[in-house]
Structure 1
Amino acid sequence: MDAALLHTVADGVATVVISHPAKRNAMTAAMWRALPEVLDALAADPAVRVLVLTGAGPTFCAGADISSLTGDEEPQALAVAAEEALAAFPKPTLAAIRGFCVGGGSQLAAACDLRFAEEGASFGVTPARLGIVYPASSTRRLAALVGPAVAKYLLFSAELIDAEHALRAGFLNELLPAGQLDKRVADFARVLTTRSQLTQAAAKEFADGRTDRDAYWARQAAASGDTAEGVAAFLERRTPSFGWTASPAGAPASEPGRTTGRRGD
């Protein structure tokens, strides 16, 4: 199968699949370039409430496919642009990881809000094997996620760590037994689709360190009516029907619909 980014939308959950089986789902230059476009389209789709990023088959992503890069392209710039687009996605993102999550794969996983993995997965940040200076933004994101000491351990050594180590280090949110990752991710994503998008969008910005939007989110909360709806639903023992919906700019959008799509290389 050719290298491709596949994506579908079902029941509020967008799933983006990194598919390059011949190279353990290594990202080609075309795939790095395509990812921001795919994410922009999904962010603008009001049917999307949650995004799941995963790999085809038994591997998440083994990094960048160096053989696909030409002399006039800067592989690091392509990877950073894709990483930043993923980090900026305005709705919750979850990496579902099995097998190798190495190099650019770890870069993409770290840019997601949450990371669930299956036992047997391996993680590594490997630029020291090639004499590459890891991007400043990627280094800071990794250090914020696992702490400076663990980030230095990974970057200095370029050694792979197992899933249990990644969980202890804080890289992973959950570690699942073999065969249970897909169900757990599906169940958790379904839960996220029922929660307040207003709460999620504000919490994402606050947790990611943004400090210039406090007043904006206070105004959104006051105008949305979601708090009153949430309290009423709790007292009436029913599922809340929250009205605020997210758009790429963080402002309310229209009510959800549904789309599907595919992006190749």
Structure 2
Amino acid sequence: MLNVENLLFEKQEGIGLITVNRPKALNALNRATLVEIDSLFEVLGKDEEIKAIIITGSGDKAFVAGADITEMQQMTGVEGRAWGRLAQAVFHKIENFPRPVLAAVNGYALGGGCELAMACDIRIASEKAKFGQPEVSLGITPGFGGTQRLPRLIGRGRAKELLFTGDMIDAEEAYRIGLVNKIAAHQNLVETAKEMANRIMLRGPVAVTLCKAAVNEGLDVDLESGCAYEAEVFGLCFATADQKEGMTAFLEKRKPAFRGK
């Protein structure tokens, strides 16, 4: 496994737990942390033992409180563009990782932290979590995908309100508007995320991967094209051992033993 300074990593029964570990900076994302996340996902993509990923933050205060402003303050336009493109590439890799990625949001998820959570497939929030895109308060726009993923998750009008005002919302409001999937007790947050990951891991791994690809692909095309893509992945399932096992197990009234093939 990689030698990383700003992340902690554990592998637990098929689940990879990634913890952003810069508590003195409220886990703010600097360039080194983004590069480490990118490199770690590259390694995990080749690890067949990993069936799901959970991302959380170190400490009780923050998931990721944003990008590291100390690195950003003196950037030029060219440097700012490159910085945004780096983060976007990392978050795109997370979004398109072939296995489910869950965000266990344990505190502040602001700016780049909210954008990191939105790049994950499923967001589970602590009752203490706070979300927001406050970049306009700093005289900038979101640059890590916030203007694109937020309206896709909560709708154009609500997204514009949060983006224009920079307001911060709590976990209850984030759940109400569809930004998070579930709220958990703070002390049980990671366990709740593991429970959901384990439920997913009981299903056909190839089918889950193809479901993720179909949803991601469909969001970027018209309905007819999205349905055509769905038909393709639906057909691919019938060439897998998992489909044979899943349907045979159903008919034999037993639990399937999927192999991810």
Residue 214 of structure 1 and its aligned partner are, at CA, apart by 4.2
CA distance in 1, matches of 2:8, 2:185: 26
Is the Cα–Cα contact under 8 Å of residues 13 and 193 in structure 1 kept in the other structure?
no
Aligned to 2:148: 140
CA distance in 1, matches of 2:116, 2:122: 11
The structure with the greater share of residues assigned to helix is 2
Give the unaligned 5+ runs of structure 1: 246-265
Mean Cα deviation higher: 18-27 or 203-212: 203-212
Aligned mate of 2:100, from 69, 74, 92: 92
Deviations 1:184-215 (A, max 9, x none): 11211112222111221111122123447446
Aligned to 2:54: 52
Aligned to 1:261: none
Deviations 1:48-89 (A, max 9, x none): 110111101112110111214574743322322221121111
What residue identity is the alignment partner of 1:60?
F
**Cα distance change, pair 67–137 in 1 and its aligned pair in 2 (3 A):** closer
CA distance in 1, matches of 2:192, 2:252: 29
Task: Provide the secondary structure at the position in 2 that maps to 1:57.
Answer: coil
Aligned to 1:151: 159
What residue identity is the alignment partner of 1:4?
N
**Cα distance change, pair 27–140 in 1 and its aligned pair in 2 (3 A):** same
What residue identity is the alignment partner of 1:132?
I
Mean Cα deviation higher: 227-236 or 140-149: 227-236
Residue 127 of structure 1 and its aligned partner are, at CA, apart by 1.4
Q: Are residues 1:17 and 2:19 paired?
A: yes
State the structure with bigger RCO (CA 8 A, min sep 6), 1 or 2.
1
What residue identity is the alignment partner of 2:69?
I
Mean Cα deviation higher: 128-137 or 84-93: 128-137
Aligned mate of 2:112, from 104, 109, 121: 104
Residue 219 of structure 1 and its aligned partner are, at CA, apart by 4.3
CA distance in 2, matches of 1:117, 1:136: 20
Deviations 1:6-39 (A, max 9, x none): 2222211111111101011111111112211111
| Within-5 A mapping of 1:1-265 | 4-58=6-60, 59-69=62-72, 71=75, 73-74=79-80, 75-135=83-143, 137-210=145-218, 211=226, 213-214=229-230, 216-245=232-261
Aligned to 1:249: none
Task: Provide the secondary structure at the position in 2 that maps to 1:180.
Answer: helix
What residue identity is the alignment partner of 2:35?
R
What residue identity is the alignment partner of 1:6?
L
Residue 236 of structure 1 and its aligned partner are, at CA, apart by 3.4
CA distance in 2, matches of 1:9, 1:242: 20
**Cα distance change, pair 30–147 in 1 and its aligned pair in 2 (3 A):** same
What residue identity is the alignment partner of 1:79?
A
Is the Cα–Cα contact under 8 Å of residues 26 and 64 in structure 2 kept in the other structure?
yes
Is the Cα–Cα contact under 8 Å of residues 224 and 243 in structure 1 kept in the other structure?
no
Give the unaligned 5+ runs of structure 2: 219-225
CA distance in 2, matches of 1:228, 1:37: 35
Mean Cα deviation higher: 66-75 or 7-16: 66-75
Is the Cα–Cα contact under 8 Å of residues 103 and 127 in structure 1 kept in the other structure?
yes
Give aligned-pair identity as a percent: 33
Alignment length, in residue pairs? 244
TM-score in terms of structure 1 length: 0.85
Is the Cα–Cα contact under 8 Å of residues 26 and 63 in structure 1 kept in the other structure?
yes
TM-score in terms of structure 2 length: 0.86
- CA-based RMSD: 2.1
**Cα distance change, pair 55–92 in 1 and its aligned pair in 2 (3 A):** same
